[in-house]
Amino acid sequence: MGSLGPYQRKHKVSVVGSGNWGTAIAKIVAENAAENSDVFDKQVEMWVFEEKVEIGKDSPHYDASVSGPQNLTDVINRVHENIKYLPGVSLPTNLHANPSIEDAVKDATILVFNLPHQFILKTCQQIQGKILPYARGISCIKGVDVSEEGVSLFSERIGKTLGIYCGALSGANIANEVAREKWSETSIAYDPPHMDSKAATPQRSPTSSQVDLVQFQHRDTSGEISKVKLQALPSDYPPINHDILKTLFHRPYFHVRVVNDVAGVSISGALKNVVAIAAGWVEGMGWGDNAKAAVMRVGLMEMVRFGDKFFGATIDQRTFTEESAGVADLITSCSGGRNHRCAKLSVERNQPIEEIEQSELNGQKLQGTLTAVEVNSFLKKQGLEEDFPLFTAVYRILKGQMKVAEIPSYIER
Amino acid sequence: MGSLGPYQRKHKVSVVGSGNWGTAIAKIVAENAAENSDVFDKQVEMWVFEEKVEIGKDSPHYDASVSGPQNLTDVINRVHENIKYLPGVSLPTNLHANPSIEDAVKDATILVFNLPHQFILKTCQQIQGKILPYARGISCIKGVDVSEEGVSLFSERIGKTLGIYCGALSGANIANEVAREKWSETSIAYDPPHMDSKAATPQRSPTSSQVDLVQFQHRDTSGEISKVKLQALPSDYPPINHDILKTLFHRPYFHVRVVNDVAGVSISGALKNVVAIAAGWVEGMGWGDNAKAAVMRVGLMEMVRFGDKFFGATIDQRTFTEESAGVADLITSCSGGRNHRCAKLSVERNQPIEEIEQSELNGQKLQGTLTAVEVNSFLKKQGLEEDFPLFTAVYRILKGQMKVAEIPSYIER
């Protein structure tokens, strides 16, 4: 990407998280960092929560000179494979597994967050004040937190905690397929306050060129206004913009479209699970492909309406109807996802979905049922249940207050 | 629907066509005419191309007093079932099968066209000048005619031939499922020049209240401008508008949304078949649900672009991304439709799609392959192949100039 121009410094990329999806994304950004060494530091750091692993004698990675349990990071750096969370996939040699989160992030200008959502806040607190103040983030964590009070995006929570701007990546992606380079698409949303370029904004301090600060306001759906002070990227780095993010994430097998709508990309990833539950029920009823497509269409429209109602001007409804994070992820989730599958089985076996969850998911919880309950508590408080008949129907069916057979008449209008 | 107000005259509805889909739609409008007798004449006519049928002794409809072959219309009117084209489905008793097309349409203010597209022109010519000059039409014929010269909508062809305005109905509907009252949705598009109301338009003749004429121009994609003189509906009829069309077509099991975008509703029904071929190939390759969703998303965007490019201001891109005729019909066609199925088999068996067509479809032709060729001839003439990489890839793969495995790199941008 010579078109990005000659800058004195290169971007250092760190991936925070090394699970299934974290490692798959780390593989991608390391491949691109290696191929675009004019813009990126070749070595990409991946923070790995250290643990001990055993390598059996029948493994191709068995090394007779090493006995007993080994550190996962050492194994990754020696065999270039995350044998625990992404076995069977070769990783680029320029991807470095780092057991120290502080060391992994300290020089990074681009931080990629990809870990289970329950660990985000704690992890961010751990590195507060220990990152470059002008770093930028991309959150690959799916979904949002919905409560009675409002909707909170993981990207925003990361940004607020660290005092940086953080965008989001979400799409119709299954980690194992992406890691095996099966073709898919994704959406990246990135729309920081205007400050990276030389074009001064009114809030930009004209006197300090190295430490430009922009104070921007964010109002979340609960009405809370937070002020975040954002530090400009020094001008000897290539600007972090849509082009550079595409350079970092796009692969021949992983097509990236970069948009501005962080809220849309994030809430799609949560709400589609609620629609997938409904689609699974309808399929379980044996009503045919048209009925399933109808419930998906109605769900898509409620996703649009939800975004429009609670994020207003900042949302672009085309995120839902045209991007991978929207319509494509919805289609995937309503074809083979676990929410869809468990809902379908619950109708076919005439069992509550909780029982299916227990028997099919090994104690894991469905995201769709949790989100349906959270979304309903929020809608109820706003007096808006009737404006979202499908979301409301899903909630009521989960609570035993309605039957799946009533969906068509309930959403009829 | 008392809200439509008290008018002296009622609408007479006729359905032209009595195949599988024609009879299913006739059932619906007859049910609604019976339930809304303040607005509609209760008896709905259905033109049936007369033929002789035999009723075997084991049929529940066997009548010992009638021997030998009988007229299909007589059987339908006696047993209230189209035993030939929609067996097993009871029809409303107020639906009258009529073997004379001229008699069936002569009093109709609302004409519903639902017959195979190769018979449309001839059928319309047969009733030219023999219908009420202020009648309005709805075409349920899927798809469009694409040639090097442009795109022609069946609704427009009907309208031009008969000198009336004709809208369109299309959606994620399978005749047998709709007939059996399995829930689905559909889209009706209806947007005549403004003339039915008392509010005079500039072109409206102020002197004649019974025979108001509006001359409106239609420019199709080939640039041809046709002038159609449209006669206003006499004011003693309820106006034919979105509300009345919803009253006529909406059922608890058949949810209708009425929009203005006739071109969008019509071309969706054709272009989705091209996308379904691509989705079938991708599924056949075993690339997973995400790849399939990706190719569907890209296809949807090319459908939007096609509409935008060739129908410009008259098209509403939300028809593609939000309505049953658009995204929902696309989803259905990419799940279980014959285009998708044959394409999938052609990859799995490594056979040309024509061979699959022959072995699977009993000599019938796939709509998707025909449309892909037609669309390509049009795009090629306009020098626009590169702007529609998926449509172009489908054409080239069909012609053996490209391989399915090349789709991701070909559409990468």
Give the mean pLDDT per block of 10 residues along chain A (413 residues).
70 97 98 97 98 89 86 97 96 98 98 94 96 97 83 91 96 92 97 61 39 56 66 94 98 97 94 97 95 97 93 87 96 93 97 92 88 95 96 97 97 85
Note whether A41 and A13 are within 8 A (CB).
yes
Rounded-to-integer distance, Cα B159 and Cα B229, Å: 10
Quick check: A252 and B408 CB within 8 A? Answer: yes
Which residues make Cβ contacts (< 8 Å) with residue A112, sequence separation at least 6? A13, A14, A15, A16, A25, A26, A29, A137, A138, A140
Regarding predicted confidence, which is higher, A121 or B65? A121
Regarding predicted confidence, which is higher, B150 or B384? B384
Quick check: A409 and B293 CB within 8 A? Answer: no
Quick check: B331 and A331 CB within 8 A? Answer: yes
**Rounded mean pLDDT of B364-389?**
94
B339 is in an annotated binding site: yes
Please, which pLDDT band fits residue B143 given cuts at 50, 70 and 90? confident
Which residues make Cβ contacts (< 8 Å) with residue A65, sequence separation at least 6? none
Helices (H), A169-288: 175-179, 242-249, 262-284
Quick check: B300 and A172 CB within 8 A? Answer: no
What angle separates helix B154-162 from helix B262-284, to the nearest 10 degrees? 150
Residue A388 confidence (pLDDT):
98
Residue A163 confidence (pLDDT):
93
Q: Tell me which residues of chain B have a C-beta less than 8 Å from any C-beta of chain A.
A: 172-174, 177-178, 182-185, 252-253, 255, 287-294, 296-298, 300-301, 304, 318, 321-324, 327-329, 331-332, 335-336, 408-409, 412
Regarding predicted confidence, which is higher, A65 or B4? A65
Residue B57 confidence (pLDDT):
85
The minimal CB distance from A184 to the residues B294, B329, B335 is found for B294
**Worst-scoring range by mean pLDDT, A215-229, B236-250, B268-282?**
A215-229
| Cβ count near B42 (within 10 Å) | 16
The minimal CB distance from B297 to the residues A185, A304, A336 is found for A185
Residues in B closer than 8 angstroms to A291, CB to CB, are: 177, 182-184
Residues in A closer than 8 angstroms to B290, CB to CB, are: 171-174, 177-178, 182-185, 328, 332
Quick check: B177 and A290 CB within 8 A? Answer: yes
Dihedral (CA of A269, A273, A275, A276) sign: positive
Strands (E), B293-402: none
The minimal CB distance from A182 to the residues B185, B287, B409 is found for B287
Query: Which residue of chain B has the CA closest to A282?
Result: B183
Cα A206 vs. chain centroid, distance in angstroms? 36
The SS3 call for residue B33 is: helix
The one catalytic residue among A10, A27, A272, A344: A272
> Which residue of A331, A390, A407 to mutate against B (max B Cβ within 10 Å)?
A331
- At B390, list the tokens: 């998926």
Which residues make Cβ contacts (< 8 Å) with residue B340, sequence separation at least 6? B276, B277, B279, B280, B283, B333, B334
The minimal CB distance from A331 to the residues B173, B287, B293 is found for B293
The one catalytic residue among B272, B292, B380, B399: B272
Determine what percent of chain B falls in helix, strand and coil, rounding each to the nearest 5. Answer: 45, 15, 40
Q: What percent of chain B has pLDDT over 90?
A: 78
Residues in B closer than 8 angstroms to A336, CB to CB, are: 289
Residue B215 confidence (pLDDT):
59
Residue B283 confidence (pLDDT):
97
Quick check: B297 and A324 CB within 8 A? Answer: yes
Query: Which residues does residue B273 pair with via DSSP β-bridges, in sequence order?
Result: none
Residue A254 confidence (pLDDT):
98
pLDDT of B219 strictly over 60: no
Phi–psi pair at B257, nearest 5 degrees: -120, 130
Residues in A closer than 8 angstroms to B328, CB to CB, are: 290, 293-294, 296-297
The minimal CB distance from B287 to the residues A183, A296, A412 is found for A183
Task: Tell me the residue type at B56.
Answer: G
Residue A357 confidence (pLDDT):
92
Residue A223 confidence (pLDDT):
57
> Which residue of A180, A183, A295, A301 to mutate against B (max B Cβ within 10 Å)?
A183
Residue B4 confidence (pLDDT):
52
Residues in A closer than 8 angstroms to B293, CB to CB, are: 172, 184-185, 324, 328-329, 331-332, 335
B19 is in an annotated binding site: yes
Q: Which domains, and CATH codes, for chain B?
A: 2-260 (3.40.50.720), 265-411 (1.10.1040.10)
Q: Which residues of B314-351 are buried (b: 16+ CB within 10 A; e: fewer)?
A: ebbbbbbbbbbbbbbbbbbbbbebbbbbbbbbbbeeee
CA within 13 Å, CB half, A86: 28
pLDDT of B228 strictly over 60: yes
Quick check: A304 and B288 CB within 8 A? Answer: no
> Which residue of A173, A254, A297 to mutate against B (max B Cβ within 10 Å)?
A297
- At B284, list the tokens: 């056949």
- At B34, list the tokens: 């019976």
Regarding predicted confidence, which is higher, B216 or A2? B216
The SS3 call for residue A127 is: helix
Note whether B354 and B343 are within 8 A (CB).
no
B47 is in an annotated binding site: no
Pairing state between β A144-147 and A150-153: antiparallel
Helices (H), A36-149: 72-79, 101-105, 120-127
Query: Which residue of chain A has the CA closest to B411?
Result: A255
The minimal CB distance from B412 to the residues A182, A252, A318 is found for A252
Which residues make Cβ contacts (< 8 Å) with residue A360, sequence separation at least 6? A338, A341, A342, A345
Residue B149 confidence (pLDDT):
79
What angle separates helix A262-284 from helix A338-348, to the nearest 10 degrees? 20
Q: What is the ipTM of this complex?
A: 0.90
Note whether A173 and A245 are within 8 A (CB).
no
Dihedral (CA of A306, A308, A312, A314) sign: positive
B382 is in an annotated binding site: no
- How far, CA to CA in Å, does A39 sit from each of A11, A255, A347, B120? 6, 20, 53, 61
CA proximity to A407, closest of A223, A315, A275: A275
Residue B313 confidence (pLDDT):
76
Residues in B closer than 8 angstroms to A324, CB to CB, are: 293-294, 297
Output the CA angle A357-A358-A364, nearest 5 degrees: 70
Residue A222 confidence (pLDDT):
56
Size of interface A-B (CB pairs under 8 A): 147
In the residue annotation, A182 being an active-site residue is answered as: no
- At A186, list the tokens: 């994704």
Question: pLDDT, tens digit, for every residue of B66-102?
Answer: 878 999 999 999 999 999 999 999 999 999 999 999 9
**Rounded mean pLDDT of B233-258?**
97
